[in-house]
Structure 1
Amino acid sequence: MQQTSTVDPPAVPPAPDSRTFARAFADVRDAWRQRELWGHLGWQDIKQRYRRSVIGPLWITISMGTTALALGLLYSQLLGQELSTFLPYVTVGFIVWNFILGVVTEGTEVFIANEGLIKHLPAPVTVHVLRMVWRQVLFFAHNLVVYFVVLAVFFPALTEQYVMEGDTVTHPGISWTIVLALPAFVLLVVNAVWVALLFGIISTRFRDIPPVIHSFIQLVFFMTPIVWHVGVLNKVTGEGGGSWKILVAEFNPIYHFLEILRAPLLGQQQDWHHWVVVGGFTVVGWAVAILALRNYRARVSYWV
């Protein structure tokens, strides 16, 4: 007669829930610890892009310098601006804009473009975001060479007090406040990570988002004070007449990110409300990104 065992089988522990804030924060923390991985991959991206080029990554600098020079000369004449102060203004604006543009456009496809690695490399999904942001930082560093060239050419004009046409304030000129550009850029990079993380997750699920972003970003460029400055809005309708039009710039978040970095680099009067706005976007943006990472981190590998 067959005997039946009365011993209960060992209990199977329940599968851990992946949708927790602890796992979301762990993903970001573990990705940061793998700096050698995404740092090497980001640098290889630059080398691969200019693999057989004679001057290599210097094409990044040349392209930026040519664009800034052409548009600076053109719009200084159209807007009646002094070239010695307006060309540096346009140059720095383009350098910061290119960083933001690269983060937003490439951020929407950061997971889609890394489909192979996501499916075969057991790494936090944030690694791919940090790789992309690091690549944009390297691009920014190459473009910054143009700023130093322009600074050397127009140094006397930028170290003295100056007023841009249409402005109501006198800018003090470049001084020790230029050191504020460092925390401003760090804050820009911190925001770049959550932007790429959030838009990357959304775009992986809804593939129509990247084309929409690419089309909309062109409109944002013309609405952002890059080849024009806010003082021109007052000049259009006379003294104080264009004050309501300044809201076009104030409601544009990219304007505030531009100003916290551009103002110290050019020795311009800094309005501290720009830092407050950027700080608010940093807190809210990271909160939303962590929430998205908590809920959809495990699904990214299936969506790609």
Structure 2
Amino acid sequence: MRVGLDDIISGVRRRDVWLYFAFSDTRARYARSVLGPWWITLGTAIGVIGLGMVWSSVMKINLSEMLPNLAVGLVIWFFLSGVISESSACYVNQSSLIKNYNLPLFTHNLRLISKHAINFLHNLAIVFVVFVIYGWPSGTNALWSLLGLLILFANLIWVSVVLSILGARFRDLGASIDALMPILFFLTPILYKKSDILGSSAWLDYNPIAMLFSIVKSPLAGEIDFYSYIIMAAVAIIGWFVAFSILSAKKQKVVFWV
């Protein structure tokens, strides 16, 4: 595991590289546009308003209750799903850098996650506006949500490393993830709250993404599940051990796979 640990430590230290590329990727995507990266926020805002109006009618829920729940849900989902979907092709897309420059592999994962974190921060403006209109959550609930966000980041980083290595070796992985994400969208409490599910909701308890998602979103709605925090913190510890092991074993082979 020493090789993997050294690579991750070295990657973190090269923040001059991955932060530069993350901001460059964002600027390049919206070059010469009027709003720039704020197009991300506008698109998400339209989705929140549109889905909010439709689902509040379908589920017979007050719009004032639906919009805060949906705004938080979509912002978290876009961040989470974006990192997971792109991670399988992370090393493949950066093959020229991997082959020609002696950079830690973890640098490319941090570049990917930082890019989506920038998008996430832009989208938080929507959540801020919604909370200004419909009221803020309590300070205690906001702190629990922040703790959940930290655990979310901890899990997404090791997941990105593992998927990047597996995606470099097995090219079908990306297509499989893309096919799975729409299903996970409806199996994750984005358009609804866990308490809205009638009858058995055991499938939510066995969906790690739903559980990871809920520890950020649910506290803002006044629902705190301590069990989920413990489980996802344990998953993060185990996941990082797996990431260290796989990175140590396969780092030298990645350059041949990409």
Q: How would you bin the TM-score normalised by the shorter chain?
A: over 0.9
| Alpha-carbon distance in 2 for matches of 1:207, 1:180 | 38
Pair 1:224-2:222 in alignment:
no
| Alpha-carbon distance in 1 for matches of 2:10, 2:24 | 21
Equivalent positions of 1:53-68 (< 5 A) are: 53-68=33-48
**Matching residue's letter, 2:108:** H
Q: Which has the higher contact order (CA 8 A, sep 6+)?
A: 2
Aligned partner of 2:54 in structure 1 is 74
**Matching residue's letter, 1:206:** F
| Alpha-carbon distance in 2 for matches of 1:71, 1:277 | 31
Deviation at 1:229, TM superposition (A): 2.2
| Alpha-carbon distance in 2 for matches of 1:261, 1:232 | 17
Pair 1:286-2:251 in alignment:
no
The alignment yields a C-alpha RMSD, in angstroms, of 1.3
Equivalent positions of 1:1-304 (< 5 A) are: 21-155=1-135, 173-234=137-198, 242=199, 244=200, 246-264=201-219, 266-304=220-258
Question: What TM-score, normalized by structure 2, do the two folds share?
Answer: 0.96
Contact 1:61 1:146 in 2 (8 A): yes
Unaligned runs of 5+ in 1: 1-20, 160-172, 235-241
Q: Deviations over 1:55-107 (max 9, x none)?
A: 10010000111111111111111111121111110110111111111110111
**SS at 2:92's partner residue?**
coil
- Aligned sequence identity (%): 29
| Alpha-carbon distance in 2 for matches of 1:25, 1:261 | 28
Aligned partner of 1:170 in structure 2 is none
Contact 2:188 2:213 in 1 (8 A): no
Q: Deviations over 1:79-138 (max 9, x none)?
A: 111211111101101111111111101111100110111111111101000110111110
Contact 2:75 2:123 in 1 (8 A): yes
| Alpha-carbon distance in 1 for matches of 2:154, 2:192 | 27
Contact 1:175 1:267 in 2 (8 A): no
Deviation at 1:182, TM superposition (A): 2.8
**SS at 1:296's partner residue?**
helix
Deviation at 1:24, TM superposition (A): 1.1
Question: What TM-score, normalized by structure 1, do the two folds share?
Answer: 0.82
Deviation at 1:177, TM superposition (A): 3.1
Contact 2:89 2:168 in 1 (8 A): yes
Larger Rg over CA atoms: 1
Contact 1:61 1:143 in 2 (8 A): yes
Please state which structure has a larger fraction of its residues in helix.
2
Moved over 3 A (4+): none
Contact 2:109 2:157 in 1 (8 A): yes
**SS at 1:55's partner residue?**
coil
**SS at 1:111's partner residue?**
helix
| Alpha-carbon distance in 1 for matches of 2:129, 2:145 | 17
Equivalenced residue count is 258
Unaligned runs of 5+ in 2: none
**Matching residue's letter, 2:231:** V
Deviation at 1:267, TM superposition (A): 4.4
